[in-house]
């Protein structure tokens, strides 16, 4: 029985109102419909409202659903009664469902609910059978009444619950007791088919040793090249198993021994007695991993009990017996029931014949191996074994010894040497309250001339980053269909709560793999590349042990390769070795899947990835800066010299050269001039579609979100004419914005005020939702500048978009953008200022192509603006805000567009 299934059954039995349904296509959103939330039929109204809704009126109330994975949803219960609608829904669930998943919602109190999602068919069937529900009779309240319906006691003191008060009582009824009768084959499913490979099988057994407070675990492979006589021995120095543990825990699949369920169906953590460890096993199936390795198991265990001395120190007291058990898994065939297969064990009380003479522990020998092992498999297992234990683990407290009794593991590469050679290193700690500690180092062992770079105790990085993560979270909720009107409140509430997965620590070691770079890093590039190929990936650890299969080959769980495709300044997954550390006790919202292939996908896991993504973005920015400097130092890139400057330098070289033939010299000069002219034309040709594309993409993105809102509006009867009129006007603004930049314009006088209004019209909803005010100061609405209008609108939209993004990362009562226009005799100036966090980087870096701190940004916006303004004047970026003529309110980013070239009438 899965944890979530057990929790759901317990919750339903402990509370009055519970509801269940299979997720429909509409609920999952696979039909393309835009109905919001989970549909609740009228027969289940009591789940969410005390009284039925009144036709012709809408009503709503708010409540909190706590899901089994630990996440919470601030939900809105709604009744739609206006017009033709007459239905109940639960909205703002903050969950994405798959069609045919099974959802259970339990009402604990008026504003407090529990939620469960079952995906596996077996778990769903068991739930339905528990409450005697047919699969086609769901989508209603669960007929179980633990309080109000009286129980009928039988002669055997069993309790029969009457499900419907209208069912007449019968004097001739007979009650019979039945039980689930699992086939013996279920142990094959739990072991051989649930554990994906022998490596994971050994990992599960090592986890059991860890939970048993072992200091040492030894894994021996005997006669491993001969499948007929080969065996695997796993021996640990843990506290062993008593008779009671063997009978009532080890031989009971799914026993919640180490993490039992509480009344709400949540896991309680019971720390180990000796080392105070948070147990890694919680499903109760890991012990059956031996079935994946071989067909016969021999188990010997010497137990101890743990007592505490007056100082509170744990003291082991050996018991006077050993347990001996042998199981042949081949006897557990599909045709037999588990109860039909007797299992015998011996309790050995003869100290002379004890395997464990003076210590407690457990010995497991697996024979009848199912795979023939080879050197490649052995080295693969060694790699996995090395990565099973956190690099932060103290080997004195927990150590794994792997021995094949041959030379298969000779000259196994040491990962520590590889980590020392990494040119880019990151150590970051984020506490539960979003406070970041960020340390970064760039250093080349073989090229000190390239310089070094360290970041430590930097006020730009060691800050509270709840604001920085906010745009990622906003995008996440928007994609899930949350109401935009209340999104600010939801985001503020999220930021005020501690991280559900506790404190995290990240260590990252990053490399460049081209031959020239590797020479600056190591004298043995081939060994580095080979070791990196074996060890790359970003792994996750809970406590001392690893969470599989993050960091495994092919599991690019953070999407680094896709980021690299979209932005060349990102690094690929295979360029990194990383470790993410979680605290076992406070990361309970991140729940491992039963098949040991990562965490269950829930909101907490999605948020965990967002946080990692944010931190890696900061690392990527510093890495990119140092990479460019490194390349320039090796003369692999010509630095920041523009193409125009190169042409000028080339002309100077021609003039300085001693060329006797004046005709040849003149032809060279003419060709150089032609190259420069052709470049300017090509640049202008490319700038127009680049600007058009960026401008149109903003408008199209807003239209994509507007259409569902318009569909919802026209569904309401009678139609709210004012509302639909405003939405049509909004749509017209977006379309006009696209058309205006598609139309060929050319250089001519452009009205500045109209261009500002056009740029702002594409952001009205965003500005409103983010509660950002925009102030436009212009002395004369007839002011014009000579340019291509498409360029001006593109530049303004990019700067407004930047201000909105960075203002969204702040928690201020007043968020403001200023657009200030001024005109002098020789120039027209447009200042765009905000009160956001301001610039962190140098001016040169800000206008470098593909440089961006925005998550998902491609880094050409400021470069495009700078290039456009070179044509008409200049872009001025203020590093000292006091130099700008703006109100002291605007303490963030300030830029000025100066139009002073070719502006004569």
CA separation, residue 842 to residues 463, 470, 498, 623, 879 (Å): 20, 24, 34, 15, 8
pLDDT, position 392: 80
pLDDT, position 686: 58
pLDDT tens-digit map of 487-521: 888 888 888 899 999 999 999 999 999 888 999 99
Task: Classify 65 as helix, strand or coil.
Answer: strand
Average pLDDT over residues 27-43: 70
Q: How confident is the model at residue 25 (pLDDT cuts 50, 70, 90)?
A: confident
Which of 56-70, 393-407, 585-599, 827-841 bottoms out in mean pLDDT, i.e. has the lowest?
585-599
Are the C-beta atoms of 322 and 168 separated by less than 8 Å?
Answer: no
Task: Judge whether residue 16 has pLDDT over 80.
Answer: yes
Q: How confident is the model at residue 167 (pLDDT cuts 50, 70, 90)?
A: very low
pLDDT tens-digit map of 598-646: 898 888 999 999 999 999 999 999 999 999 889 888 765 444 455 666 7
Burial of 186 (0-12, 13-18, 19+ CB in 10 A): middle
pLDDT, position 354: 95
d(CA 769, CA 489): 11
Give DSSP secondary structure letters for 519-576: HTT-S-HHHHHHHHHHH-EEEEEETTEEETTTTSTT--TT-HHHHHHH-TTS--GGGE
pLDDT, position 593: 78
CA separation, residue 482 to residues 70, 91, 92, 103 (Å): 20, 8, 6, 20
2 vs 239 pLDDT, higher one = 239
pLDDT tens-digit map of 288-318: 777 778 889 999 999 999 998 888 888 999 9
Task: Classify 651 as helix, strand or coil.
Answer: helix
Task: Judge whether residue 359 has pLDDT over 90.
Answer: yes
Q: How far is CA 258 from the centre of its chain?
A: 28
pLDDT, position 412: 81
Average pLDDT over residues 31-48: 76
Burial profile 841-874: b = 16 or more Cβ within 10 angstroms, e = fewer: eeeebbbbeebbbebebebbbbbbbbbbbebbbe
Alpha helices in 743-841 (DSSP H): 752-761, 764-769, 789-807
Q: How confident is the model at residue 172 (pLDDT cuts 50, 70, 90)?
A: low
pLDDT, position 268: 64
Q: How confident is the model at residue 275 (pLDDT cuts 50, 70, 90)?
A: confident
829 vs 707 pLDDT, higher one = 829
Give DSSP secondary structure letters for 845-861: HHTSTT---STT--S-H
d(CA 752, CA 389): 63
Average pLDDT over residues 703-721: 72
d(CA 428, CA 442): 15
Task: Judge whether residue 733 has pLDDT over 50.
Answer: yes
Q: How confident is the model at residue 663 (pLDDT cuts 50, 70, 90)?
A: confident
d(CA 66, CA 407): 54
pLDDT tens-digit map of 831-865: 999 999 999 888 888 888 778 888 767 677 888 88
Average pLDDT over residues 382-399: 81
pLDDT, position 429: 95
Query: How many percent of the chain have pLDDT more than 70?
Result: 82
Task: Judge whether residue 177 has pLDDT over 60.
Answer: yes
Dihedral-angle region of residue 223 (phi above 0 means left; psi in -120 to 50 means alpha; beta otherwise): left
pLDDT tens-digit map of 649-662: 777 777 767 677 77
Task: Judge whether residue 221 has pLDDT over 90.
Answer: yes
CA neighbor of 589 nearest in space, from 684, 502, 475, 528 = 502
pLDDT, position 643: 63
Average pLDDT, the chain: 82
Largest CA distance in the chain: 125
168 vs 674 pLDDT, higher one = 674
Q: How confident is the model at residue 258 (pLDDT cuts 50, 70, 90)?
A: low
DSSP, res 592: B
pLDDT, position 637: 47
Which of 66-75, 522-531, 570-579, 882-891 bottoms out in mean pLDDT, i.e. has the lowest?
66-75
Average pLDDT over residues 664-675: 74
Task: Judge whether residue 530 has pLDDT over 50.
Answer: yes
CA neighbor of 285 nearest in space, from 596, 72, 528, 524 = 596
Task: Judge whether residue 465 has pLDDT over 90.
Answer: yes
Q: How confident is the model at residue 671 (pLDDT cuts 50, 70, 90)?
A: confident
Task: Classify 657 as helix, strand or coil.
Answer: coil
Q: How confident is the model at residue 582 (pLDDT cuts 50, 70, 90)?
A: very high
d(CA 335, CA 322): 33
d(CA 784, CA 761): 19
């Amino acid at each position: 029985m899965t944890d979530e299934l057990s929790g759901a059954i317990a919750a339903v039995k402990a509370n009055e109102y519970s509801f269940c349904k299979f997720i429909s296509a509409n609920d999952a959103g696979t039909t393309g419909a835009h109905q919001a939330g989970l549909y609740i039929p009228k027969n289940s109204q009591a789940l969410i409202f005390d009284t039925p809704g009144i036709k012709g009126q809408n009503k709503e109330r708010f409540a909190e659903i706590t899901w089994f994975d630990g996440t919470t949803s601030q939900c809105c219960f709604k009744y739609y009664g206006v017009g033709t609608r007459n239905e109940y829904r639960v909205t703002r669930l903050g969950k994405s469902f798959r069609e045919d998943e099974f959802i259970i919602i339990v009402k604990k109190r008026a504003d407090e609910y529990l939620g469960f999602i079952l995906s596996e068919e077996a778990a769903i069937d068991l739930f339905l059978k528990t409450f005697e529900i047919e699969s086609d009779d769901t989508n209603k309240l669960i007929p179980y009444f633990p309080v109000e319906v009286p129980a009928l006691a039988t002669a055997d003191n069993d309790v029969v619950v009457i499900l419907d008060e209208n069912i007449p009582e019968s004097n001739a009824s007979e009650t019979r007791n039945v039980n689930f009768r699992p086939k013996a084959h279920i142990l094959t499913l739990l072991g051989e088919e649930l554990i994906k490979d022998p490596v994971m099988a050994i990992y599960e057994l090592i986890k059991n040793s860890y939970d048993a407070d072992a200091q040492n675990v030894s894994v021996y492979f005997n006669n491993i090249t001969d499948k007929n006589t080969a065996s695997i021995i796993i021996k640990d120095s843990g506290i062993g198993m008593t008779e009671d543990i063997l009978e009532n825990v080890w031989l009971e699949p799914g026993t919640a021994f180490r993490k039992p369920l509480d009344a709400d169906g949540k896991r309680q953590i019971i720390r180990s007695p000796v080392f105070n460890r948070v147990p890694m096993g919680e499903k109760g199936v890991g012990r059956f991993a031996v079935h994946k390795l071989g067909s016969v198991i021999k188990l010997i265990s010497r137990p101890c009990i743990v007592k505490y001395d007056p100082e509170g120190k744990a003291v082991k007291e050996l018991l006077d017996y050993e347990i001996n058990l042998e199981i042949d898994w081949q006897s557990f065939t599909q045709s037999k029931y588990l109860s039909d297969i007797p299992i015998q064990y011996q309790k050995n009380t003869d100290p002379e014949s004890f395997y464990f003479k003076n210590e407690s522990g457990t010995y497991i020998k697996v024979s009848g191996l199912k795979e023939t092992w080879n050197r490649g498999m052995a080295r693969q297992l060694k790699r996995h074994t090395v990565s099973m234990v956190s690099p932060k683990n103290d080997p004195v407290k927990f150590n794994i010894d792997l021995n094949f009794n041959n030379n298969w593991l000779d000259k196994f590469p040491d990962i520590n040497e590889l980590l020392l050679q990494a040119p880019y290193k990151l150590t970051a700690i984020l506490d539960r309250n979003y406070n970041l500690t960020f340390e970064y180092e760039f250093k080349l062992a073989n090229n000190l001339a390239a310089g070094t770079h360290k970041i430590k105790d930097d006020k730009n990085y060691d800050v509270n980053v709840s604001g920085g993560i906010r745009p990622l979270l906003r995008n996440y909720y928007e994609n899930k269909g949350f109401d935009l009107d209340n999104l600010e409140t939801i985001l503020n509430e999220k930021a005020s709560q501690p991280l559900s997965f506790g404190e995290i620590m990240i260590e990252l070691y990053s490399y460049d793999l081209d031959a020239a770079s590797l020479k600056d890093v190591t004298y043995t590039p081939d060994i580095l590349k080979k070791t990196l190929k074996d060890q790359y990936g970003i792994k996750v650890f809970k406590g001392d042990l690893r969470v599989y299969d993050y960091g495994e080959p092919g599991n690019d769980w953070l999407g680094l390769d896709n980021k690299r495709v979209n932005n060349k300044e990102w690094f690929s997954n295979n360029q990194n070795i990383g470790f993410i550390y979680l605290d076992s006790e406070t990361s309970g919202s991140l729940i491992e899947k039963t098949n040991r292939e990562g965490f269950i996908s829930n909101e907490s896991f999605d948020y965990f990835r967002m946080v990692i993504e944010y931190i890696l973005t900061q690392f990527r920015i510093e890495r990119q800066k140092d990479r460019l400097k490194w390349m320039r130092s090796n003369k692999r890139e010509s630095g920041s010299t523009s193409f125009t400057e190169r042409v000028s330098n080339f002309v100077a070289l021609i003039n300085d050269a001693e060329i006797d033939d004046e005709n040849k010299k003149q032809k060279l000069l003419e060709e150089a001039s032609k190259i420069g002219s052709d470049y300017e034309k090509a640049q202008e040709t490319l700038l127009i579609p680049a600007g058009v594309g960026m401008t149109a993409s903003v408008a199209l993105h807003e239209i994509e979100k507007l259409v569902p809102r318009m569909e919802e509006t026209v569904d309401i009867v009678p139609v709210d004419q004012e509302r639909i009129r405003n939405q049509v006007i909004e749509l017209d603004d977006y379309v006009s914005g696209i058309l205006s930049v598609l139309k060929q314009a050319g250089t001519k006088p452009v009205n500045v005020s109209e261009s500002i209004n056009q740029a702002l019209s594409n952001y009205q909803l965003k500005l409103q939702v983010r509660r950002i005010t925009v102030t436009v100061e212009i002395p004369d609405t007839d002011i014009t500048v000579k340019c291509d209008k498409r360029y001006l609108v593109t530049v303004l939209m990019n700067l407004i978009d930047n201000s909105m993004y960075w203002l969204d990362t702040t928690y201020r009562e007043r968020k403001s953008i200023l657009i200030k226009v001024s005109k002098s005799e020789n120039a027209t100036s447009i200042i765009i200022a905000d009160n956001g966090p301001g610039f962190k980087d140098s001016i040169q870096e800000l206008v470098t192509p593909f440089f961006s701190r925005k998550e998902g940004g491609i880094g050409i916006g400021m470069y495009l603006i700078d290039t456009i303004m070179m044509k008409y004047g200049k872009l001025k970026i203020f590093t000292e805000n006091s130099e700008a003529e703006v109100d002291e309110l605007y303490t963030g980013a300030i830029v000025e567009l100066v139009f002073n070239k070719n502006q004569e009438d």
